[in-house]
Structure 1
């Protein structure tokens, strides 16, 4: 089957204008779940409407939660405080947040729940969360260590202290924390060791939980105590997506333009907003960039690094290998498709050599996105400086930013499009 292709035409001038990024995917899916677990009607404004959030909303509907969408950025969610067993397996595409969060939440229900996803989600590990839930007395199986996951819920947990290995993903911790207020007794979540994927996302989880009435205390950097409050319906506003903002900051850096995204970087609570400090240093970004606490921003910065004046080594990015695709590998392959030797992998580190002379060159390169929205959006930035950059499967951006190509077009970017017949 021929894949749809989009070739970016370098604009040749600074790109300036106003672009309002969509709402945060991370916060939208947290708020949808918490509103679904609350008793009453919640109104979520500024929300993201994309593949990932649609899967979460549809899963909640399948479990008896009313989810209305009165406009393009609002969800009105009415729950009873209980998630009912769905008639069919919950299909969540490649939405990691929805899959991990719901796996823990449905364990509080009574009956059989199957959490499943697409071919990509079925390669993403979930064993640490499954093991943690088993330790709480949950009847749960995941034969491959990845979805599908089958949960036979019995209305709660038999234990109220869990130790979780969060080395692969902070989403495991967030999933347990969000389930905890509904467990009926004071609940303690403890990290196994100090490793944790982007800790800033735990802060997003705690803030959302408190907005819906939860009482949670961080006892130590690795222990949280959660009271059995359940959740209260609430009106909740969702801030713009900081990961999406990184692409627009990248456009500014590469073209020397100025884009008003409607939100100051200092006002973001999402960890990816810290990427602006690094992006602002372009074309003299630091020699070593630790990506552990801004993981979704690394594809953006790695493509910028191709045009940096000096090489950049990205460290702390092992978790990128278990995202929507192996992003370390995808970045290496994509950069080397533009120019052989532009990037290399050393263990889980990525080294981008940097070559400012790429600007203005014609270097035909087809970028395999591996159906990963962040690979597609980040490599589009290379097309602003180097002609011939073609993005395969450009519609995969619908996972988190359906309007991405239109946003760039509004700034003056043009494309050559090839649609399979």
Structure 2
């Protein structure tokens, strides 16, 4: 249940102009932390994100014998031994989905039993398909509910020859298996079943990170990779800013007619969510249909922006959004309709945003339930840039990936009121 603390955004009534540097990429930071931990030697990760999600990952790695120093606000210095040691206690990962899924696979390298657990929200997030894929590859991994807590009985080595996973379920499952595969005793094939892969761009991020740390990966075809044994080599690695975080700033710029300098060119982002910039740039003439599968974390931003578009927007292929920190399809539907009844409808896994160019003249008494989901809090703050009166519950949940979000808005001249 969300806390009773709220934040109300006062529409600035003018263009937002200024410079805001987004934090480092969460997706890349948690990948780099893990592969650096699995490497022998010391790696220096710069431009990294320090947030709840990366804290859960780094703390879990420390529990397994990895030395991680933090000399400044954007750097991790990681010293690994080439393998993970058995932790004395269960790994608590909060609601950090990347940490839970990546580590569920990675702890197969531990010689001993490991339990991975999370908060009440995490205990509702499915992980069964990853456990089944690991089990078929000879890893003893199980869960009583198909969700965390998870038990993995590591054997200190990975003897699998092949992992198969339905890539349409979650790209994080695919990434978890790929990163583990480099620790095998022999080459391991990671193969996708099913017709599609959700957010393939995130798999590309994983492969790029693995290869930067010395892993040898061969693409056998569009759905199969062969990962050579040999593990990872310590290296220095720079992490780009977070594209998902950038979407809020791009949208704030579009909504207010302003110009926000992110300190990095739009084209420099390699993360899948950067594709959202092309959609945002078309506002208020966004396309009639936006496919969500390849830029899932950007969909909340785009859905709120669509409420102010000239014409309706249908968001499709959103099934994976239902198993994020909350059911984001339903949360977006409920939040938009709290602002104005009839603004959104759900059809299967599609979200249809009716769009109302006159919405900015509306005064709302909406109380948006974020379900402790950072992306729901941040996207509905955008609605508050145009519609007065919107209250957003649990504003502190943005610490999951963007601890400085509210300060970033204030630095652009946005007035916020926090109420307990």
Matched, 1:5 2:1: no
Aligned partners of 2:137 and 2:162 also within 8 Å:
yes
**Matched-pair contact (CA < 8 Å) for 2:3–2:394:** no
Q: Which residue matches 1:15?
A: 16
SS of 2:231's partner is coil
1:264, CA displacement in angstroms?
1.0
Aligned to 1:64: 65
**Residues 215-245 of structure 1: per-residue CA shift (max 9 Å, x gap):** 1011111000001021000000000000000
| Aligned counterparts, 1:203-352, within 5 A | 203-352=204-353
Q: CA deviation at 1:314?
A: 0.2
For 2:214 and 2:160, how far apart are their aligned partners in 1?
23
8 A contact 2:3–2:393 mirrored in 1 = no
Contact 2:30/2:54 (<8 A) preserved = yes
Give the match for residue 35 of structure 1: 36
- Cα deviation for residue 139 of structure 1 reads 1.4
Which runs of structure 2 are paired with 1:65-214 in the superposition (5 Å)? 65-214=66-215
Aligned partners of 1:287 and 1:381: how far apart in 2?
21
Unaligned runs of 5+ in 1: none
TM-score (norm 2): 0.99
Distance 1:315 1:293 in 2: 11
Give the C-alpha shift of residue 140 in structure 1. Answer: 1.5
Find the aligned partners of 2:15 and 2:198 in 1 and give their Cα distance.
36
Contact kept? 2:316, 2:350, Cα under 8 Å:
yes
TM-score by length of 1: 0.98
> 2: distance between equivalents of 1:280 and 1:2?
35
Which deviates further from its counterpart, 102-111 or 149-158? Answer: 149-158
Contact 1:194 1:222 in 2 (8 A): no
* Contact 2:10–2:415 (8 Å) recurs in 1: yes
User: Is contact 1:122–1:146 with CA below 8 Å preserved after alignment?
Assistant: yes
Structure-2 residue corresponding to 1:372: 373
Measure the CA separation in 2 of the matches of 1:361 and 1:415: 19
Q: Secondary structure at the match of 1:405?
A: helix
Structure 2 unaligned residues grouped into runs of 5+: none
- Where in structure 1 do 4 or more consecutive aligned residues deviate above 2 Å? 156-159
| Alignment partners' CA distance in 2, 1:323 and 1:405 | 22
SS of the equivalent of 1:68 reads strand
Change (3 A) 1:168 1:2: closer
Is the 8 Å Cα contact of residues 360 and 386 (structure 2) preserved in structure 1? yes
Deviations 1:357-395 (A, max 9, x none): 111321111110000000000000000000001110000
Matching residue of 1:381: 382
Query: How big is the shift at 1:2?
Result: 5.8
| Contact 1:128–1:166, Cα closer than 8 Å, also in 2 | no
